[in-house]
Amino acid sequence: MASCQPTSMYVLHRYREQARSHRGCVSQKFFGVTTPRAHVILAPFSQGQSLFMTPSSATSPSIIRIAAALLIGPDGRTLLVRKRGTEAFMQPGGKIEAHEQPVHALARELEEELGLAINPAHATYLGQFSAPAANEPGFVVQAELFQLTIDSDVSPAAEIEEVRWIDPGTDGDVTLAPLTRDLILPFYRASLNAIA
């Protein structure tokens, strides 16, 4: 089982399902990499705080449920988007509507934001990742993350102002949303290292 040791971040786990024989961290394998399967929220760590909290001891933040894509090009770079009037680049995707399956929300959002038509059956589910929302103070974004490999051109549309392909080994010299910076890009880097 992989260690769930944070570096300079406080990690708050809220389990999606009851774990009978595990405490602190439930994990699963993706790309040969053992990763947390818990609902993870990152926030600054301060002295005296408990490292792992249970749902009963945690204050529930306001949650924004989204479907997000780890879009990978033929060269291994990943596509990030920046919404109009904002600074942070993030994974493409958007809010999941009531009674909508996450993968169908992703297909709808990719079509609206990038003109990219995908077959939902080709999207690989990677898990649920959560972090403070980049553009909504006091909110936490809870992303159902899917991986897709694409080789078609995309163009910004709807609320997307800019798209950028970045090497996963760098931050692309841009401001990144917490979810992308702290969880998704490190996850992608770890998967690449496991394959190499």
Q: Which domains, ranges and CATH numbers included, belong to the chain?
A: 9-57 (no CATH), 62-195 (3.90.79.10)
Each residue of 87-128: pLDDT tens digit? 999 999 999 999 999 999 999 999 999 999 999 999 999 999
Supply φ then ψ for residue 192, to 5 degrees.
Answer: -65, -40
Beta strand spans in the chain (E):
9-14, 27-30, 33-36, 39-44, 62-72, 78-83, 89-90, 93-95, 124-132, 139-149, 160-166
pTM: 0.71
Distance, CA of 94 to CA of 13 (rounded, Å): 23
Helical spans, DSSP H, in the chain: 102-114, 178-179, 185-195
Q: Is the dihedral of CA 118, 163, 179, 166 positive or negative?
A: positive
Which amino acid, one-letter code, is at 2?
A: A
Residues 6+ apart with CB under 8 A from 190: 31, 33, 35
In order along its 196 residues, the chain shows pLDDT tens digits of 333 333 323 232 332 232 223 333 333 444 444 444 434 433 333 333 333 333 433 456 799 999 999 999 999 999 999 999 999 999 999 999 999 999 999 999 999 999 999 999 999 999 999 999 999 999 999 999 999 999 999 999 999 999 999 999 888 899 999 999 999 999 999 998 887 6
Task: Please write down the long-range contacts of 3-7, taking CB distance under 8 Å and 24 or more positions apart.
Answer: 4/36, 4/52, 6/45, 6/51
Residue with tokens 């600054």: 44
User: Which among 97, 153, 102, 151 has a CA at the least distance from the CA of 123?
Assistant: 102
A 10 A CB-CB count for 74 gives: 8
Supply φ then ψ for residue 35, to 5 degrees.
Answer: -130, 155
Distance, CA of 69 to CA of 110 (rounded, Å): 9
Check: CB of residue 184 under 8 Å from CB of residue 27.
Answer: no
